[in-house]
Chain A
């Protein structure tokens, strides 16, 4: 297959992905916003829109900013298809992003390529389906499972899912990029030590941490290019 043929086939796929992605997001939005009203008709009590407005001003603005940051930062990692799916299914930081990065790493695709777009979509779809299945089974077995999952003995394990995930991923990515990793790690540790209240806003701190890592990576990249040119 020639590169032109491949590009044409991928362009056709990509175009339809955007149509389907927008449609799926639009329908999900309507369902999500409509569900409380549907539930309200079942319960005989519609949402109190004045209380909703007050609540949105109190907490919604913070999450609006967080959503914008997440969109700008994560979309390049996820690609088009993966992006639509990830923003529909959620759990980005604790699952979808590490999952897509891990799949990309295992297969060895490069950012911005058609292969990366395909692998990212497959990865997000597979992980989302597993989550839906586990939650559905869990809800079905909620009563018999509850004592096991909520037992005091297992609590530390489930309280530490995210550290377990990031510990594994840290080794995988730090070992080949130690010169880049050391700076954000040290700067973030110092910041969190000096301003302990920041631990409540860790998701916001990803942005400066990521910007610092990208800045340092850029310096090394430029240095390598200069050396190669010399």
Chain B
């Protein structure tokens, strides 16, 4: 039996599928509890429904991108582990890098099914899990204190007022700016400093997505089509990704 057939055996699917089913149940429990708590504190059910709809539509396209990560990894690690890694704590940008580095650390020439052995596979699986689990460990240890400190109103200030909200928006602006800055840097200096010969495609995609979003916001604000809000991010992404296909090679 080849190594890939062993890695794709029903037993492996059962182990990984079982863990994913557990995580799925956790999500459902948290969602139902949050919904009930929202109603109990007098929140508008329509608003909560909008948040769920917007988040669900928002998640579809990035999820297809994550599925591509599963496909990319499945050639060397088998489908069940790749599926598990990208469904539980995994991250698209992390998995391939760590899988490659882990393969080298266990003495493989690279991440490929031809060189994979069962021992190397289980060691890589353990390494991939342990390297990224710290967010959960910190959540167990500190989440209660950390979040209660963040939501406790300081003297003279109500929760939700003050600088907290602006700081969160600013942090998000910083996050987006770091990524857009990296696309600018890749274009200008990606193939040597100031050579302007890197790929322009990510920047073009950013611009098209921003333009599409401007269109959606115009519809929502000027044409009173508030319902487009829920689909504006997913819609802008589809337009920008379609543009990437048309603009490839720039």
A-B residue pair count with CB separations less than 8 angstroms: 585
**B59→A210 contact, CB < 8 A:** no
Residues of A within 8 A of B165 (CB): 110-112
**A157→B241 contact, CB < 8 A:** yes
> In whole angstroms, what is the CA distance A158 to B68 when docked?
8
The interface size of chain B toward A, counting residues with CB under 8 Å, comes to 157
| Given A42-B15, A158-B64, A214:B174 Cβ within 8 A | yes
Residues of B within 8 A of A158 (CB): 64-65, 68, 241
B115 contacts A by Cβ under 8 Å: no
Most B Cβ at <10 Å: residue of A9, A83, A127, A173: A127
**B123→A52 contact, CB < 8 A:** yes
**A36→B64 contact, CB < 8 A:** no
A159 contacts B by Cβ under 8 Å: yes
Residues of A within 8 A of B114 (CB): none
Residues of B within 8 A of A48 (CB): 106, 119-120, 123
B225 contacts A by Cβ under 8 Å: no
**B130→A33 contact, CB < 8 A:** yes
**A192→B186 contact, CB < 8 A:** yes
Which of B30, B63, B173 meets A135, CB within 8 Å?
B63
Which residues from 203 to 218 on chain A have a C-beta closer than 8 Å to any C-beta of chain B?
203, 205-206, 209-214, 216-218
Which residues from 224 to 250 on chain B have a C-beta closer than 8 Å to any C-beta of chain A?
229-230, 232-233, 236-237, 240-242, 244-245, 247-248
A223 contacts B by Cβ under 8 Å: no
**B87→A131 contact, CB < 8 A:** yes
Which residues from 93 to 116 on chain B have a C-beta closer than 8 Å to any C-beta of chain A?
93-94, 98, 101-102, 105-107
**B210→A167 contact, CB < 8 A:** yes
**B241→A164 contact, CB < 8 A:** yes
Grouping DSSP codes into helix (H, G, I), strand (E, B) and loop, the A interface class, with mixed when no group exceeds half, is helix
Q: Report B48 CB to chain A, min CB distance, Å.
A: 6
Q: Per-residue 0/1 for B123-167: is the Cβ within 8 Å of any A Cβ (1 yes, 0 no)?
A: 101110111111111111011101100110100000111011111
> In whole angstroms, what is the CA distance A37 to B27 when docked?
26
**B98→A63 contact, CB < 8 A:** yes
**A39→B12 contact, CB < 8 A:** yes
**B201→A160 contact, CB < 8 A:** yes
**B179→A162 contact, CB < 8 A:** yes
Which of A24, A156, A159, A172 meets B213, CB within 8 Å?
A172
Which of B41, B119, B170, B180 meets A214, CB within 8 Å?
B170
| Given A123-B52, A184-B178, A161:B237 Cβ within 8 A | yes
Q: Per-residue 0/1 for A60-97: is the Cβ within 8 Å of any B Cβ (1 yes, 0 no)?
A: 10011001101101011101110111011111111101
**B122→A36 contact, CB < 8 A:** yes
Q: Report B149 CB to chain A, min CB distance, Å.
A: 10
Residues of A within 8 A of B81 (CB): 39
Which of B30, B31, B126, B176 meets A52, CB within 8 Å?
B126
Q: Report A55 CB to chain B, min CB distance, Å.
A: 3
Residues of B within 8 A of A100 (CB): 55
> In whole angstroms, what is the CA distance A123 to B38 when docked?
13
Question: From B234, which residue of chain A is reached at the shortest CB distance?
Answer: A168
Residues of A within 8 A of B67 (CB): 134-135, 138, 149
Q: Per-residue 0/1 for B184-219: is the Cβ within 8 Å of any A Cβ (1 yes, 0 no)?
A: 111011101110000001110111111111100100
**B27→A128 contact, CB < 8 A:** yes
Question: From A96, which residue of chain B is reached at the shortest CB distance?
Answer: B59
Most A Cβ at <10 Å: residue of B56, B168, B178, B209: B178
> In whole angstroms, what is the CA distance A100 to B23 when docked?
19
Question: From A73, which residue of chain B is reached at the shortest CB distance?
Answer: B171
Residues of B within 8 A of A94 (CB): 62, 65-66, 91-93
Q: Report A181 CB to chain B, min CB distance, Å.
A: 5
> In whole angstroms, what is the CA distance A18 to B142 when docked?
10
Q: Report A167 CB to chain B, min CB distance, Å.
A: 3
16 contacts between A and B (CB under 8 A): A31-B19, A36-B123, A43-B122, A46-B122, A48-B123, A91-B86, A118-B34, A118-B38, A125-B31, A127-B58, A130-B60, A150-B68, A150-B71, A164-B208, A205-B182, A206-B178
Known: A90-B90, A173-B173. 12 other contacts (CB 8 A): A10-B37, A35-B84, A48-B123, A59-B98, A84-B143, A87-B139, A93-B91, A111-B167, A130-B55, A171-B209, A196-B190, A213-B171
Q: Give the top 6 A-B pairs by smallest Cβ distance, nearest first.
A: A192-B185, A188-B181, A167-B209, A55-B105, A210-B174, A110-B160
